[in-house]
Structure 1
Amino acid sequence: MLGGKKLSAGDKNKRRPSSSIQILRIRTQDLTTGRIELGPDSGFSSDFTHQDFQLFDFTHQDFPFPNVQYEIIIFSRIPFPNLFSWNTLIRAHAAGPDPRLALLLFARLLSDGPDDPDKFTFPFAIKAAAALSALREGAALHGMVVKSPFFSSDIFILNTLVHFYAACGDSGLALRVFDNIPSRDVVSWNSMINAFALGDRWDDALRLFEEMQRENVMPNDVTMVSAASICGKKCDLELGRRIHAYIQRNDDIEASSILDNALLDMYVKCGSLEDAELLFHSMNTKDSISWTTMLVGYCKLGHFHAARHLFDQMPDRDIASWNALISCYEQSGRSKEALDLFHDLQQADVKPDEVTLVAALSACSQLGALELGCWIHAYIKKNSFALNFHLTTSLIDMYSKCGDLEKALDVFESTKNRDVFVWSAMIAGFAMHGEGKEALDLFEQMQEAKVKPNGVTFTNLFCACSHAGLVDEGKLFFSKMLPVYGIAPNAEHYSCIVDILGRAGLLEEAKECIRNMPMPPSASVWGALLGACAIHRNVELGEHACKHLLKLEPRNHGAHVILSNLYARSGNWNAVARLRKSMKDSSLKKEAGCSSIEVQGVVHEFLVGDISHPLKEKIYLQLDEIASRLKAVGYVPDKKLVLQDIEEDAKERALSLHSEKLAIAFGLISTSSPAPIRITKNLRVCDDCHLVAKLVSGIYNRDIILRDRFRFHHFTGGLCSCMDYW
């Protein structure tokens, strides 16, 4: 007998005596301290709080889960609950919001119950362990099952064990159980196929699907859902179509919205919008998942107009559908549309969730929309959202990218539990603001906190070294990555070290670093070298870097533009003309410079020479005043920065109409001291705009915080935080 002798009616309230083969034991003194243990053979260990222990006071009236509270009350009224009663309660908790309580009840059953667990008890307890991904606890239950009379005969228990190991991410152990099932049913096969799928062993899952049919086990709708899902993950459109045809041919496979949605998702992931549309329009029943999947399909392939049209047609828009479109806009660089939709969501009286807020914060980060980002932060506090790692990282990133490093640091310091991404986000914040020493100090604190860095941490650390000119420090950390931290540098890390060396003018050393890379140089590596050549005006090496970059990315318009600018600065206008003709012939267009500024929660965008703004007259009058006051302090436009072969007067006019200058002028007429003027530029700020921003900050006594593609520039009193190193 597994748990000791049976209790008679008179012994119901006594502890069951221990047995030499007892696996699970509970000590009364440990219950009061909130700890249960398995015996030495199992390694079971699970902590719970005193509040959780109130579960075992079955008269407790404030039980937190109303769906099982009535069962608790009834159970507490049973003088001598039988095993069926225990099973019912364990089952309720196994499927409830806190499966951990099911395991605690199982332990209580072993100590105080009238009978040993039966073939119904074990699946419920194993299901709870699967929901918790509690490998040690589930393995202990497996050990008990092995010693029970049900192990070799009850397929339901064995199938549940396969599912449990799959949920814990151990497809190897799941396969060992599966191979030992004497007579496998369709659930057995489905569970094992799902185990392989969860472990990203897609080929093994498909192999098992074919073997299942050879064994004359008829697949059901659950099987086909798994098979379609695997095809989607593998992006195997041909096999996905064959599976769809198989389903249509076999009437025994029950049609369902779940199966249709799985096929729809497969077509979307495989990039076949035509197949997805045909299936979507033929579906008899479309739920919110169907609409949202189709919505994501349109966004994924860049059909944003169709996506918005479909969104507007949706009969019921739940938060998942709002999130899908907001996230797609944000991830595709359409941040303004993402925030407009976020505003529509609020007007529709739909409550945002964590996913919504993370996407909206990311959109704020891209646009530099600090006011809206602050509002979202206040909303999070007001509505008592738990500041988990995702939200914390997003807030730090938003404040950092919107130019308020102090608030980013406040969020970081107010967070007690910090994972590697929270630490890395704060290091990135220091890096983009040119605070290299502070980034390195924070990295030291991270190590003292025993948080292991990852590849992202080192990328951010190298960026800090690059922007602050900390060449020796960057090289030292790079040399320590593998031997000290166990992280092999990847191509992105090499592009960072090339950027550190190249930005400092060590172009030959950067070139040698590329030559010694253990992997083929990526486009980002050659891009870093090309950028360094542009800064230091090394045409020959720039041509070499651009040639290799364009081999990897022939349609990289940025590479063409950088090389063209490099030729222009050296006065080689014939080479400029050839390159621009090549771009025109290839239908490549230069990315237009755009600067944005947020005023009273509204983001205003400016292009070079922009005359579309409603306040254009006032902006240009302010621009004229700025020009007059700049000349009074000795400013001379650097006409060499006009990379076009035009008249001198036209060059000066072209310089004065850069988008940054328009945004500065708008900021001066729209805001007042001491509020800083915050500007976001999509490209690297040019030397002349950088000089003008410095002078304006002194002349008008206004702080200007300008974020370009690579870093922040804090202009105060005629100086810049970058110390002219960027």
Structure 2
Amino acid sequence: MAAITPPALSAIPTPASGNGCRRQPADQHILSLLDDHSALGAPELKQVHARILRLGLFDNTYTASRLLTAWAIPPSRNLHHALQVFDQMSHPNLYSWNILIRAHAACQPELSLRIFSGMLADSPHSPDRFTFPFILKSAAELVMFREGSALHGLVIKSPFHSDIFILNSLVHFYAACGYLDLARLVFDHIPQRDVVSWNSMIAALARADLCDDALDLFEAMNQHGVLPNDITMIGILSVCGKKGDLELGRSMHSYIKLNRIPECLILDNAILHMYAKCGSSSDARLLFDTMKEKDSISWATMVFAYAKSREFDAARTMFDEMPSPDIAAWNALISGYEQNGRPREALAAFRELQNTNTEPDQITLVAALSACSQLSAIESGESIHFYLKTTSFDMNRHLATALIDMYSKCGDLEKAIRVFRSVENRDVFVWSAMIAGLGMYGRGKEALNLFQEMLEAKVKPNHVTFTNILCACSHAGLIEEGRLYFSEMQSLYKIAPAIEHYGCMVDILGRAGRLEESLRLINSMPVPPPSSVWGALLGACAVHGDVELGELAGEKLLRLEPRNDGAYVLLSNLYARAGRWEDVGLLRKRMKDQGLKKEAGCSSMEVGGVVHEFLAGDASHLLSEKIYKKLGEMMARLKNAGYEPKKTQVLQNVEDEHSKERALNLHSEKLAIAFGLIRTDGAGLIRIQKNLRICEDCHAMAKLVSDVYEREILIRDRYRFHHFEGGRCSCGDYW
């Protein structure tokens, strides 16, 4: 379509001149310009506004409302001018109120609600079928359940209680507030659902990760003869991606083609994203190469697709081939590394970004903070926090959650608490992150108290909250409290226990030595117990030395996951502690035959922004000679203080006592502690991350080091934190 050029404002005729020639009334020409206001830029619109005032046309409500529309709606939107126009109208009509509410709903929903309240209080007009959808959109944007429910009450009392546009808006509102049951109730009572009705409910279920429910509704939509459109398929494709179901995703791609749903860039990108989430870089590349149109999101999605498939070189090559990488592409690269086991590369890419002219956004910073969490890189995390403080970033709930998680996992719980307390509007994820942090440190009672504070703040818990609550109970040995919350999930909070919650309960009981009770709980599960649950039981059996039950758990686990190296290691440790060396040998032979290797114990610590890693018996570090010298001095000093090596922790058939002691001394935690004593300030905290569970000997040694050297040591192992100070550990020797 050719561009429309607005007529010159000087050509607008004025009222008839004295020569008697008849001229078209000026207001008609003004209105014709306002009716086509999309062709007016802001300078031209200002001139029209001035002409209306000079000609005295503003007193005409219709003219004033058209001027209001021009200022309120793009492309010349200026809400300040729109409000000024509205305030100068002596008797604004309902159309004017609706335009103002609509304009602010898009970008200032709080003001939109205030304008609506003013309309109810100060005008003779009642809301109509155009008012309700936009004011409900504002309430949804602000997640204002109480206010939206009151609006629903007004709808019911109005003549528009069956209007499909309003009912669709109510579905969206309740879903946005997390009340899917109410959204579904409204949806089920829509007399004649249109495609928007179905799309709203499907999208709501997809966003809530209720993937199977969304797919069932999609099937029902087809059965009702409602033809899906591109919006429908975008929602369904997101479900396929969340499920990671490649075959389902391929079938939906075929469905789009068979039903001739019009192709567009947004839909193609949704298909591309689905293939990326399902881990099929080949399908994604096939589509990418045939797309008629590509944008930066298309390229970024391909970067992520390669990273998701762990084809990191291809991901980097794709990124480097982009015409001009924008922040979406950087986010795909950084998140791709961070989410797929390459946190070190994620931080390196983030630092590379900082040397460009591209500004990081919220997604970038959350991914970088998550990488810091994985590496226990607190110095890098603190620098990101400083960046947030010194720039214009709003400390929103996503960033607050990431910061709380980073500080908690990097060993500074007090800073995590300070961030938490500084957040004004805490959502369920902010609360849940803080509960998780307290739980990791064994401060279970405080975690439960915070949960009660969360309920008093009227924040509805979700399944993540209960996972964190049960983990906190497990780390603190709060058995009865764990039982109580597990039983209340369904009865009180309407959250059905999922696999992870059963796993937590098995862990709670197992840590306490209640292994038979753990087995009874597993046998009562409504679904076949998955590998994670049998793994929790096997781990508990390894701690408490129950060989018979451990063999049962190991057999079940290996039947589900024949190549689970962790299962072999736990069983091997169980046999070793029982002195069954022949069985240890058989297990190791089975591992070797399958090409499986035990995960090497690795401890790391950050010093001066650099993460140093140590493997058991490692001699590759630049300061290796000094580290081993310090280690020898440290062990001699500890022996003088009463240290006795726990040689039962040597899980190899070694008869020589000296060799057993040497094997214990080479554990990665001890090397990291020795390095920490060399490189950190004499009064500073030594922070160490361990990829496996800390053994009893290293735990006892760390307690003694904290006393003899008067140093605080914080070790984060695979499951929790151990804070050693003055010869004691925060876990109370319960881990």
Q: Which of 198, 203, 206 lines up with 1:198 in the alignment?
A: 203
Distance change in 2, residues 1:555/1:618 (3 Å): same
Distance change in 2, residues 1:424/1:125 (3 Å): closer
Q: Over residues 383-413 of structure 1, what are the superposed CA-to-partner deviations in whole Å (9 max), with x where a residue is unaligned?
A: 3543333333333322222222222233334
TM-score, normalised to structure 2's length?
0.76
- SS of alignment partner, residue 603 of structure 2: strand
**How many Å apart are 1:724 and its aligned residue?**
2.7
**How many Å apart are 1:419 and its aligned residue?**
4.2
Do the aligned partners of 1:622 and 1:669 also contact (CA within 8 Å) in 2?
yes
**How many Å apart are 1:272 and its aligned residue?**
4.0
Q: How many residues align?
A: 635
2:285 aligned with 1:280 = no
- SS of alignment partner, residue 279 of structure 1: helix
Do the aligned partners of 2:687 and 2:713 also contact (CA within 8 Å) in 1?
yes
**How many Å apart are 1:581 and its aligned residue?**
1.4
1:298 corresponds in structure 2 to 306
Do the aligned partners of 1:261 and 1:289 also contact (CA within 8 Å) in 2?
yes
* Superposition map of 1:202-601 within 5 A: 202-205=215-218, 208=221, 235=245, 236-246=248-258, 255-446=263-454, 453-475=461-483, 477-478=485-486, 489-517=497-525, 519-601=527-609
- SS of alignment partner, residue 107 of structure 2: coil
* Superposition map of 1:139-218 within 5 A: 140=154, 146=160, 160-161=165-166, 163-168=168-173, 169=175, 170=183, 173=186, 179=192, 189=195, 191-200=196-205, 201-205=214-218, 208=221
* Superposition map of 1:99-110 within 5 A: 99=109, 101=111
**How many Å apart are 1:681 and its aligned residue?**
0.3
Do the aligned partners of 1:534 and 1:566 also contact (CA within 8 Å) in 2?
yes
1:703 corresponds in structure 2 to 712
Do the aligned partners of 1:129 and 1:135 also contact (CA within 8 Å) in 2?
no
1:642 corresponds in structure 2 to 650
Give the Cα–Cα distance (whole angstroms) in 1 for the partners of residues 481 and 220 of structure 2.
Answer: 51
1:314 alignment partner AA: M
Give the Cα–Cα distance (whole angstroms) in 2 for the partners of residues 337 and 647 of structure 1.
Answer: 43
Q: Over residues 442-493 of structure 1, what are the superposed CA-to-partner deviations in whole Å (9 max), with x where a residue is unaligned?
A: 4455555565555444443443343333445444555555556665544433
Q: Which of 119, 132, 137 lines up with 2:151 in the alignment?
A: 137
Do the aligned partners of 1:209 and 1:227 also contact (CA within 8 Å) in 2?
no
2:107 corresponds in structure 1 to 97
2:270 alignment partner AA: A
Q: Over residues 86-138 of structure 1, what are the superposed CA-to-partner deviations in whole Å (9 max), with x where a residue is unaligned?
A: 666555445x3025655665776788889999xxx854763453354346537
Give the Cα–Cα distance (whole angstroms) in 2 for the partners of residues 539 and 471 of structure 1.
Answer: 23
**How many Å apart are 1:277 and its aligned residue?**
0.9
Give the Cα–Cα distance (whole angstroms) in 2 for the partners of residues 494 and 222 of structure 1.
Answer: 37
**How many Å apart are 1:558 and its aligned residue?**
0.9
2:672 aligned with 1:663 = yes
Do the aligned partners of 2:132 and 2:166 also contact (CA within 8 Å) in 1?
no
**How many Å apart are 1:591 and its aligned residue?**
1.4
Give the Cα–Cα distance (whole angstroms) in 2 for the partners of residues 564 and 266 of structure 1.
Answer: 41
Gaps of 5+ in 2: 1-67, 141-147, 176-182, 206-213
Give the Cα–Cα distance (whole angstroms) in 2 for the partners of residues 87 and 344 of structure 1.
Answer: 48
Q: Which of 716, 720, 723 lines up with 2:725 in the alignment?
A: 716
Question: Which 10-residue stretch deviates more, 574-583 or 546-555?
Answer: 546-555
Aligned Cα root-mean-square deviation (Å): 3.8
Give the Cα–Cα distance (whole angstroms) in 2 for the partners of residues 428 and 417 of structure 1.
Answer: 19
TM-score, normalised to structure 1's length?
0.77
Gaps of 5+ in 1: 1-57, 152-157, 181-187
Do the aligned partners of 1:361 and 1:376 also contact (CA within 8 Å) in 2?
yes
Distance change in 2, residues 1:103/1:423 (3 Å): closer
* Superposition map of 1:75-94 within 5 A: 89=100, 92-94=103-105
Do the aligned partners of 2:476 and 2:731 also contact (CA within 8 Å) in 1?
yes
Give the Cα–Cα distance (whole angstroms) in 1 for the partners of residues 113 and 398 of structure 2.
Answer: 30
Percentage of pairs with the same residue: 54
Distance change in 2, residues 1:529/1:380 (3 Å): same
1:4 corresponds in structure 2 to none
Distance change in 2, residues 1:437/1:688 (3 Å): same
**How many Å apart are 1:554 and its aligned residue?**
2.5
2:79 corresponds in structure 1 to 68
Do the aligned partners of 2:215 and 2:236 also contact (CA within 8 Å) in 1?
no
Do the aligned partners of 1:135 and 1:165 also contact (CA within 8 Å) in 2?
no
Q: Over residues 255-298 of structure 1, what are the superposed CA-to-partner deviations in whole Å (9 max), with x where a residue is unaligned?
A: 53223223323443455432321221122331111112222322
**How many Å apart are 1:83 and its aligned residue?**
7.5
Distance change in 2, residues 1:358/1:127 (3 Å): same
2:202 alignment partner AA: A
Do the aligned partners of 1:596 and 1:680 also contact (CA within 8 Å) in 2?
yes
Do the aligned partners of 2:467 and 2:501 also contact (CA within 8 Å) in 1?
yes
**How many Å apart are 1:207 and its aligned residue?**
5.6
Do the aligned partners of 2:448 and 2:469 also contact (CA within 8 Å) in 1?
yes
2:694 corresponds in structure 1 to 685
**How many Å apart are 1:626 and its aligned residue?**
2.1
- SS of alignment partner, residue 501 of structure 1: helix
Give the Cα–Cα distance (whole angstroms) in 2 for the partners of residues 88 and 443 of structure 1.
Answer: 43
- SS of alignment partner, residue 606 of structure 1: strand
Do the aligned partners of 1:193 and 1:209 also contact (CA within 8 Å) in 2?
no
2:703 aligned with 1:694 = yes
1:126 alignment partner AA: P
2:133 alignment partner AA: I
Do the aligned partners of 2:300 and 2:329 also contact (CA within 8 Å) in 1?
yes
2:629 aligned with 1:621 = yes
- SS of alignment partner, residue 179 of structure 1: coil
1:245 alignment partner AA: K
1:42 corresponds in structure 2 to none
1:50 corresponds in structure 2 to none
Give the Cα–Cα distance (whole angstroms) in 2 for the partners of residues 171 and 483 of structure 1.
Answer: 21
